[in-house]
Structure 1
């Protein structure tokens, strides 16, 4: 039987891991320090979400114009059917706005936690929002304001400090 003295000996030194612009990211599991640009991006996406919710709630004040649009599109409907159609359209718009807002919040929280996939998803959603406004979908001033906040969030999330944070946060999660 072999004795433990026959085994090669390796130094017992431990290295703290690579050090980057955001701090140690070695095997100790220390999370990198979140830069202000990522916090700013989080708050910009949060602002875009709140603005979108306000926009969705403003639809509630547009019930009469919505009913008029339904009335003009199909003259065969009764007054009760027009009211029902307007109510269904308003409820659907509010539900969709809330669901989208919840997803935006989830992605913003994940972005703040250093998840690169969330940064990419928010970038794609913001690009779709910009394209929608450029295509002339009848955006209101509040829609443009929400889009501007989201664009600011995307820009902040891709600044060099943010990119270093996402790169440093990746090895910490296992």
Structure 2
């Protein structure tokens, strides 16, 4: 890691930055979930309540929150392993970030790029996975810079 900027823990700043960007992506996912479920009209809860009733809508929201909690927990586990220098975690995180970006691009191409109205921007972009996926893509890119590569190589003893 000659010439690489490191933080006080000995990790390259790129690895620390990727960790922080990924934490921000997890937080953004939760904010988007709350906004979509309860705040931005028409809310997901209102739509579900009209379709299946209040009780089933609450069950669906609880299941959705539980799934997001599990996904966030697994992501956080991989992040902590990545920060500790585990190369497998870096590869898993990069692969998942790439998959997420591909899903977003597929979704955007299916929904059309030509709907550039304010409502489209709020519902289909800001309340989608796009903001967190962009953060994850940036984090993944940081994990494969030369100083990051040297950090992971040194951690596995190569």
TM-score (norm 2): 0.75
- Counterpart position of 2:68: 97
Aligned partner of residue 157 in structure 2, secondary structure? helix
CA RMSD of aligned residues (A): 2.4
Q: Deviations over 1:57-95 (max 9, x none)?
A: 234312112234xx3xxxxxxxxx532332222111111
Task: Select the residue among 71, 83, 99 that pairs with 2:54.
Answer: 83
Deviation at 1:126, TM superposition (A): 0.9
Deviation at 1:102, TM superposition (A): 1.1
Aligned partner of residue 165 in structure 1, secondary structure? helix
Query: Is 1:131 aligned with 2:102?
Result: yes
Task: Select the residue among 128, 139, 142 that pairs with 1:153.
Answer: 139
Unaligned runs of 5+ in 2: 4-8, 112-123
Specify the structure having the higher radius of gyration (Cα).
Answer: 1
- Count of residue correspondences: 134
Work out the CA distance in 2 between the residues paired with 1:92 and 1:135.
25
TM-score (norm 1): 0.68
8 Å CA contact 1:53–1:101 kept in 2: the answer is no
Moved over 6 A (4+): none
Task: Select the residue among 36, 49, 69 that pairs with 1:67.
Answer: 49
- Counterpart position of 1:112: 83
Going by fraction, where is helix more abundant, 1 or 2? Answer: 2
Q: Cα gap change, 1:132/1:96 in structure 2, threshold over 3 Å: closer, same or farther?
A: same
